[in-house]
Amino acid sequence: MRIHPKLICCFLPVVFLCGCKKSGSTQETPTTKPSASTNAVPATTAPAASAPAAATGSAEAAASVETTAKMAAAEWALKQDEIKKDPNGQWAIQATASSTYNDRQGTAGWSANQATGAPNVDKYGDDGNAWTSKTPDGGIEWLDLKYPKPVHTTEVRVRESCGSGAVIKIEVYDEQGGAHAVWQGNDPTTELNYLMVKFPKTTFKTDPVKVTLATNVVAGWNEIDAVQLVGTDQ
Please tell me the predicted confidence (pLDDT) of residue 135. 97
Tell me the C-alpha distance between 105 and 227, whole Å: 19
Give me the domains of the chain, ranges plus CATH numbers. Answer: 90-232 (2.60.120.260)
Q: Taking Cα atoms as reference points, which of 117, 98, 129, 94 lies closest to residue 223?
A: 129
Region of 112 please: left (phi>0), alpha (psi -120 to 50) or beta. Answer: alpha
Taking residue 5's Cβ as centre, other Cβ atoms within 10 Å add up to 11
99 close to 140: Cβ distance less than 8 angstroms: no
Please tell me the predicted confidence (pLDDT) of residue 14. 33
Q: What are phi and psi of 170, to 5 degrees?
A: -130, 130
Please tell me the predicted confidence (pLDDT) of residue 54. 60
Q: For the chain, 234 residues long, give each residue's pLDDT as a single digit of tens.
A: 334 434 333 333 333 344 456 654 344 433 333 333 333 333 333 344 445 556 667 888 888 888 888 888 888 888 888 999 999 999 999 999 999 999 999 999 999 999 999 999 999 999 999 999 999 999 999 999 999 999 999 999 999 999 999 999 999 999 999 999 999 999 999 999 999 999 999 999 999 999 999 999 999 999 999 999 999 999
Tell me the C-alpha distance between 146 and 104, whole Å: 19
Tell me the C-alpha distance between 52 and 14, whole Å: 33
Please tell me the predicted confidence (pLDDT) of residue 11. 34
Please tell me the predicted confidence (pLDDT) of residue 105. 96
Please tell me the predicted confidence (pLDDT) of residue 114. 98
Please tell me the predicted confidence (pLDDT) of residue 21. 62
